Structures are given as C-alpha cells and as structure tokens.
A and B are shown apart, each in its own frame.
Chain A
Amino acid sequence: MNCDLCQTEKATIFFSQMVEGTLQKVNLCKCCADDKGVTDPTGFALADMLEGMGQQTSLDHPMNKDDLVCGSCGFSQTDFKKTGRFGCADCYHVFDEGLDGLLEAMHKHTQHVGKVPATFPDLPALPEADLHDLPPEPTRPNKLSELKEALSKSVEDEDYEEAARLRDAISQLETQHSES
C-alpha cells in the first residue's frame, strides 16, 4: 500500500481518527508523516488534512457488499451503527427496517403528532394518522414477534449490541402490554 499523500513511498504509518462522528483513516510513509506532524499527536488533526485532500481517503464508505447504502448520500447501515446518526433525510426511508423498534425504545411512540409545516402536502386519505389514537393492541403481537425474531437473528449473527437494544425494546413493549 502506498502513501496517501505522495503516492510513491510505501505507507508504514496507519492513522485512524473519529472526525465528526465517522471513522477516517489515512496511510502515510514515514517522510510524509513527519512532514504533517502525525508523530506529534497533540498537534495533528486528521480532519484538517483530509480537508486538504478532498476527502479522497475517506475509507469509511462501505466495502461490504451486504451493507445497505443510502442512494442519496452514500451513508451505510454500518455508519449508523457506529455513529447513531443518519446521513440525510432520505436515510430514514432507506433504513426504515427495524427503525420503529428503535424509536419505540427511544420515544415510546413512532407516530408524529406535533407541528406540521403549512407548506407540507396533506396526508393521503389513509386512516394511518389515526392509528395512534386507537388502542394499538392489534399491532402489538406482530411487533413483538417481529422484534423477537430480529433478536434471535442478531444473537445468531453475534451482534450483541443490536441484541441488547432489541432485548430492551421487547421488555419495554411487554411492560406496556401488561400495563394496558
């Protein structure tokens, strides 16, 4: 692997840093590293350097073929797991699978009922908007079984972080269920 800066020397120094919530990596040769002050950790900000390099070495974009990616902004599911934030407004539709479980754990509800911009087209005439006013019982077993399925899958995949999140979402649902 050659140095990202001079592109000629062999890279011997590999540098990673969280920049605005995403992991950025740079590979440098000894000469460029000294030049950029990488060896002095206090004075080196990867962000500044990437800025100058047009972010061409932002290696955080998915390598993994299975990784779901937002077509609008290039943000991946892996990025979301890392940062807990989305890349753009469209990501909410690209990554909406499992999102409701996450939102229920965070907010207890998944349907917005507050202010709507006046400029926004009215909701299509579906009864969806009233759903939250109705007793949500009928949807619950479904939701619960979906979550449980996802939980056993994440345990199989050894994704324990995801599993812990799902476990909490399930127990919350079950408590709500038993309360109502």
Chain B
Amino acid sequence: MRFSTLLKKPAEWMRTPGPESDIVMTSRVRLARNLVGHPFPGWARKEDRHLVMEAVRPVLEELVEMKDSFSEEMTKLTAIEKQVLVERHLISREHAAKGPGCGTVMNRKQTISVMINEEDHLRMQAIRPGLQLLSAYRALDQIDTQLEGELPYAFDHQYGYLTACPTNLGTGMRASAMLHLPGLVLSEQISQTIAGANKIGLAVRGLYGEGTEALANLFQISNQNTLGAKEEEIIAHLDRVIAQLIANEKNARMKILEDRPTMMQDQIGRAYAVLKFAHIISSKEALNHLSMIRLGCDLGFIPEEERETITVLLTEIQPAHLQISAKRKLSPEERDILRADIIRSSLNGLTPPDFSTILTERDNDDE
C-alpha cells in the first residue's frame, strides 16, 4: 500500500465510537520484543540493524492481520511523512528521527502498527477507540504469538522479555488510554489527579507522550511497572483507575454546570466563535477550542453528529497533516492560515451551541 492510500482515510478509531468514548478517546497497547543474537538497536551497528530488519519485516508482512499493509524503511520517508505518522500515533517521535536499518509496518485500518528497530527490535502497537485496553491487548497478543513461532525472541524466565531499557522488562507491555479531561482541568483538580495516579504506579503524559504538553485537555495514562504482574492484571488495574477517573471527570463537569454554568457557556460559546470565524489560528489554540466543542457535544449543547468531525480535526489540523494536504512545505504563518480555513469549512454547518437546558435552570433559580 502506498503512503497516499494510507493517508486518504482517517484511522478506524476516529470513525467508530467505542465504550466510554465521550471521555476515553483511544486505548493503546504496545509490546516490546527483541531477537536473540543481535545487539539492541541503540547499540547495534547499521549492519546489525539491517539484519534484524531483513529477518523481521517479511514475517510481519506475511501476517494475515497485516494484509495489504503499509511497510517502509524510515530512510524512504520524507520528514513530513514521518511527522504525519507521529501525529496519527502510529510511530513515536523517537522513531521518526531514526535512520538506516529502521522501518515501520502498519495495517490499512491503522489499528496495528509495528516499529522495527526503535528502542527495541520490535515495538508493536494496537489502537482501539474508547476504553478497550483488553481487546487491544488480545489483538496484539495474537500477533505476538504468531511472531514467536517465526522469530527467536530474547526471553528469560526471571526477567521475562528482555528489552533495551530495564523499565520495560517482564511483559514488555505498556497499556495507555487517552482521556479527555476538561472538567478536571477547569475545576483545577488535574494536578492532584496526576499526582494520585503517579502514586499508584501509573504515568500521566501529554498528547504526544513523554515530556509533551497536555493539549486539548488530553492526557495519556499508562502503567509504569512491566515486571512482576500478568498482562491482564496490569490492564485490570488500569481499567479500575480509569473508571474512577471517568467518574471524577463526570462529577467535575456536573459540579461546574451547577456552580458556574455561565463560565461553562462562555468557554464553549467562545470556542465556537473563534473556530467558526478565525482566519489565523495556532495549533495550540485550535486544539484547546476543539476540546471545548467536544465537551459541548458530551453535555448536549452541540449536536452529537459533530463529534466525529471534531475527532478527525484534532489530527488533521496538525502541522504535518496540513502540509500534506497543501502538498508543499508551509511556513508556520501559512499553516495557521490553512488551519483556520480547514476548521471553518469543516464546521461550516455547525449551529451555535444551544444552552437552553442551562438557561431554564437559571430562570428557575431567579423565580
């Protein structure tokens, strides 16, 4: 499959709703695996990396799940194409910077992607809409089981799957969910939520992983410990914490609606106005306003049909996606203009948010 074909359609997770998808955008699970007899990619010479690539890539392409896959060496992709894959969460930022002997294989639906020679020889990922960590793991587990028959994995009975970094030992599994938490942000409970998650061995990160800013009120929560627990136990623990976070977020939203309904209307109304009429808009500003429109959908102020448009826009307005759609390199100023154009045309049919439910309650209060 060609890169252009891959790009034509948004990823499957953007178009199909999943469980709890008002708050949980996606569930992702990744497994790290290495082959015996080859140095890990960070320490390997170019020739070693090529050997691993030659051993791994044909096996991946043969998988039924990867039929009609997109498979390429990193050196064959342009900087913008690599960035597009990062923006779609199909490869990591670190992998985008990789050179000779590194590659990537993903299926057409963009639900399974494999990085070859990232930090480990194999980093495989499954992505699902909404809260479906276990289902994502099962899909990946199946592929992993097929691969282990063909590829000699580095495994040890004490340490489990051997990984370049000891933080990934054992299961080699990182499960993460992308949560939309505007309620906790607006009610200023987010820092304590993050601190609480950290205390119980979970990491909370921004939109693009380690060290990135939390944009659009999106937070990734993931397990930190990979050794000493079964894959299903790690996921069950995450699921319990996420269920609690969902409840907290819903409470926070209800509380804001009760205590400060005007503030909530202002945030959503302002986001609508800016997105609908701006002609120059930065990525950050757009993402944060889109988050408010999404919240408007959740609360019934904005028609539910708009949700998919908003989800797709979150990705489509990012720098590399803009440049692919313009078919040329754009300066940051040009991007801000094109971004505003795309948003305006996507939201063309969007009617103003309807706050009548809140207004009625307030009128009642006045009586």
Contact = CB atoms under 8 A, between A and B. Distances in A.
A92 interface: yes
Given A51-B46, A89-B154, A114-B231, A106 B36 contact: no
Interface string A100-116: 00110011111111111
Contacts of B100: 51
Given A47-B99, A107-B226, A109-B228, A86 B173 contact: no
Contact of B155 (A102, A110, A117): A117
Nearest to A132: B228
B225 A107 contact: yes
B220 interface: no
B62 interface: no
Interface stretch (B19-27, B164-172, B279-287): B164-172
Contacts of B169: 103, 107, 112
B3 interface: no
Interface of B: 34, 36, 38-43, 45-46, 99-100, 119, 141, 144-145, 148-149, 152-162, 164-167, 169-171, 173, 201, 225-231
Interface stretch (A118-126, A144-152, A156-164): A118-126
A110 to B, nearest CB: 7
Given A89-B36, A106-B167, A114 B42 contact: no
Contacts of B153: 117, 119-120
Given A92-B162, A107-B226, A119-B148, A114 B167 contact: no
Given A109-B228, A120-B155, 8 more contacts: A86-B40, A86-B43, A86-B166, A112-B160, A112-B170, A112-B228, A114-B173, A118-B148
B230 A106 contact: no
A87 interface: yes
Given A47-B99, A85-B164, A112 B156 contact: yes
Contacts of A113: 170, 228-230
Decide if the interface of chain B is mainly helix, strand, loop or mixed: loop
A146 to B, nearest CB: 17
Pick the most buried of B156, B170, B225: most chain A CB atoms within 10 A of its CB.
B170
A168 to B, nearest CB: 15
Interface string A76-90: 000100011111110
Contacts of B167: 106-107
Given A20-B42, A21-B42, A83-B42, A108 B166 contact: no
A83 B119 CA distance: 12
A99 B159 CA distance: 10
A118 B162 contact: no
Contact of B157 (A84, A103, A118, A129): A129
Contacts of A109: 225, 227-229
Interface residues of A, number: 40
A99 B257 CA distance: 52
Contact of A112 (B40, B43, B99, B171): B171
A179 B227 CA distance: 21
B228 A111 contact: yes
Interface string A59-93: 00000000000001101000100011111110010
A92 B156 CA distance: 9
A87 B46 contact: no
A22 B236 CA distance: 37
A57 interface: no
B42 A99 contact: no
A99 B39 contact: no
A55 interface: yes
Contacts of B41: 20
A1 B167 CA distance: 40
A102 B45 CA distance: 28
A75 B43 contact: yes
B173 to A, nearest CB: 7
Interface string A20-44: 1110000000000000000000000
B34 A89 contact: yes
A128 B158 CA distance: 9
A40 B149 CA distance: 50
8 contacts: A89-B162, A110-B227, A112-B160, A114-B170, A117-B148, A119-B152, A120-B155, A128-B158
A78 to B, nearest CB: 13
Contacts of B225: 106-109
